Amino acid sequence: MSKKLKQEFLEELSAYLRYLNHLLTSSLKIKALTDIRDLENLDLAIDNRERLIKIIQVYKAKIGTKLDKKDRLNLGPDFFHNFEKVEKDIQIFFGFIKKIDEQAISGLNQEKNEMAKQASSFSKIKSYLKAI
C-alpha cells in the first residue's frame, strides 16, 4: 500500500480520536448543564452530541473498512499490536463517558420527578381553587 494511503489511514484514526475527545467534552457539558438545570442549553448540547456521534460513526466505519484491508496497508505487526492497546484504551474511555452520561441521566430523571410533583401540586391547587 502506498505511503499516501497509510497517511490517510493515520489521519482518519487521529481524527476519530479527536472526535472521541469532543464526545467526552460533550458529555461533561451535558452533565454540567443537567446539574445547573439549564434545560434550553441542555437541549442544544444534546443535539450537538447527536451530530457528533454521527461523525464518529463515519470515522469508525472508515477505519474499520481500512483495517479489513490491513494486508494492503502494510503497517506491520507492531502497529496492529499497538492498535489493539489503543482499542482497549478506547473501550475504557467509552466506559468513562458512559458513567458521566449515567450521572446526567440520573439528574434528568430527578428533574423529571420534581416537575411531575410540581405538576401534581398545580393540579391540586387548580382543583381546590375551582372548588372555592
Q: Given a cut of 80, is residue 117 above it in pLDDT? A: no
Q: Phi/psi at 39 (nearest 5 deg)?
A: -70, -30
Which tens digits make up the pLDDT trace of 39-77? 788 888 888 888 988 998 888 888 888 777 665 566 677
| Residue 46 amino acid letter | I
- Which stretch of DSSP H or E encloses residue 96? helix 77-131
Structure confidence at residue 132 as a pLDDT band (50, 70, 90) = low
* Higher pLDDT among residues 15 and 71, named by residue: 15
In this structure, the chain runs to a length of: 132
**Quick check: 69 and 5 in contact, CB under 8 A?**
no
Q: Residue 92 and residue 101: Cα distance in Å, rounded?
A: 14
Confidence of residue 126 (pLDDT cuts 50, 70, 90): low
Instruction: Count how many Cα atoms sit within 13 Å of the Cα of residue 3 in the half-sphere of its side chain.
Output: 0
- 73 within 8 A of 6, measured Cβ to Cβ: yes
Q: Report the percent of the chain where pLDDT is more than 70.
A: 81
Contact between 34 and 107 under an 8 Å Cβ cutoff? The reply is yes
Q: What grid cell was written down for 31?
A: 452533565
Identity (one letter) of the amino acid at 123?
S
pLDDT band at 113 (very low <50, low <70, confident <90, very high): confident
Q: What is the pLDDT of residue 70?
A: 61
Q: pLDDT tens digits for 81-100?
A: 777 788 888 888 888 888 88
Residue closest to 38 by CA, chosen among 108, 97, 99, 117: 108
